[in-house]
């Protein structure tokens, strides 16, 4: 029988543990060997994966509910997972971008898709493409995990129905039992609630805690601030494409786009005005509310999660553009995102 080195065995266990935790955070369901092989590119036989998962359980990293053959992570497993993520941050600067890209590919499927969508819009139009992330008032909470990083620090992991994953660390001195009670409370009260409403819901519901749970109340209020401060975000790609457009004799349109790329809140405020409009929306030159956009046209449309519009995408280019072609491009890309969300349901 072929001998497997300790290093390879350790690497396999680390990969399996990471995959189990990622999938459990994403779905909230116990994870079996077949899921790991099919979805996480683990090139081992089902028997080999089950053996490694059993060893991880013996070592205290995984456990399994009595009614399921699948595994879920323990606090020790989460601790190792988080420690490994922290180790990544200590790599050389030249590795940092690559690590972040790989991490997003594994853990933030929807964010990766939206970023890629802005590049598609930019590349196919040869103008500037943008996609806004799902709006907080329409993106509902699917699951909340609370992970104790240390005696003074708590990691909040928020998974939304659209697939967005948000991480935030806060100061906390709660005991493990208190953390577990708080996690159960948050999931009971907030699952299915929009991210935008979560702040108010926590404040109104958390008062139900008994007076001897005052420490939990304080941490719950901190978590409510986390929800309150989650902002809409936007991916913008191809601002430099405008430089090559012969229509412009000066640098003003380029400066405007660069400014919007830096001041995303202002840009989000502008395009949000089209959020409740159906179909394709086109604003030409002076029809835009800002003077900086007088030489540019903006084509936008919404994308949907089921029947609910949740975000906006589009392109920015010169007034002299092939409108029919650009409007069709924006429409087709929107349908692509709609199909992605539909398939997730």
Tokens of 129: 């493409």
Q: How far apart are CA 15 and CA 10, in angstroms?
A: 9
Cβ pair 108, 204 in contact under 8 A: no
**pLDDT for residue 198 is more than 90:** no
Q: What are phi and psi of 275, to 5 degrees?
A: -65, -35
Would 202 be classed as within a structural domain? Answer: yes
Instruction: Report the chain's mean pLDDT, rounded to a whole number.
Output: 77
Domain co-membership, 173 together with 250: no
> Which residues make beta-bridge pairs with 62?
73
Backbone angles phi, psi at 89, to 5 degrees: -70, -15
Claim to verify: residue 248 and residue 335 sit in the same structural domain: yes
Asked if residue 319 and residue 258 are part of one domain, the reply reads: yes
- Give the residue among 178, 180, 179, 227 at the shortest CA–CA distance from 202: 227
57-86 tens-digit pLDDT = 999 999 988 766 789 888 888 878 766 655
Q: Supply the pLDDT for residue 313.
A: 93
Q: What is the CATH number of the domain that holds 179?
A: 3.30.390.60
Which of 181, 199, 228 is the last residue before a domain boundary? Answer: 228
| Number of folded domains that form the chain | 3
Quote the domain boundaries for residue 333.
108-134+232-344
C-alpha span between 150 and 171 (Å, rounded): 9
Instruction: List, for residues 113-152, the tens digit of each pLDDT value.
Output: 888 888 888 888 888 899 988 877 778 888 888 888 887 8
pLDDT band of residue 104 (cuts 50, 70, 90) is: very low
CB atoms within 10 A of CB 10: 10
List Cβ neighbours of 239 (8 Å cut-off, separation of 6 or more): 128, 254, 257, 258, 261
């Amino acid at each position: 029988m072929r001998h497997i080195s300790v290093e390879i065995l350790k690497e396999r266990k680390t990969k399996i543990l990471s995959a189990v935790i990622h999938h459990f955070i994403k779905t909230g369901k116990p994870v079996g060997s077949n899921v790991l092989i099919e979805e996480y590119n683990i090139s081992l036989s089902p028997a080999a994966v089950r053996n490694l998962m059993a060893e991880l359980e013996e070592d205290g990293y995984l456990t399994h509910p009595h009614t399921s053959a699948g595994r879920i992570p323990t606090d020790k497993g989460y601790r190792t997972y988080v420690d490994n993520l922290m180790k990544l941050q200590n790599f050389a600067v030249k590795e940092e971008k690559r690590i972040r890209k790989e991490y997003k590919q594994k853990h933030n499927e929807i964010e990766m898709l939206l970023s890629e969508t802005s590049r598609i819009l930019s590349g196919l139009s040869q103008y500037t493409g943008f996609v806004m992330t799902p709006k907080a008032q329409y993106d509902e909470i699917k699951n909340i995990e609370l992970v104790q990083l240390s005696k003074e620090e708590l990691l909040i992991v928020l998974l939304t129905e659209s697939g967005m994953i948000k991480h935030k660390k806060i100061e906390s001195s709660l005991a493990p039992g208190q953390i577990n009670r708080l996690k159960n409370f948050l999931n009971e009260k907030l699952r299915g609630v929009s991210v935008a409403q979560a702040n108010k819901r926590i404040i109104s519901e958390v008062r139900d805690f008994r007076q001897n749970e005052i420490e939990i109340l304080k941490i719950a209020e901190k978590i409510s601030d986390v929800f309150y401060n989650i902002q809409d975000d936007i991916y913008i790609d191809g601002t430099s494409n405008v430089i090559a457009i012969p229509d412009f004799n000066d640098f003003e349109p380029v400066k405007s786009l660069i400014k919007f790329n830096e001041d995303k809140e202002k840009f989000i405020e502008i395009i949000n005005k089209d959020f409740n409009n159906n179909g394709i929306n086109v604003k030409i030159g002076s029809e835009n509310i800002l003077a900086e956009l007088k030489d540019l046209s903006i084509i936008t449309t919404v994308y949907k999660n089921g029947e609910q519009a949740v975000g906006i995408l589009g392109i920015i280019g010169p007034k002299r553009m092939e409108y029919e072609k650009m409007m069709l491009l924006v429409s087709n890309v929107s349908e692509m995102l709609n199909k992605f969300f539909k398939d997730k349901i």
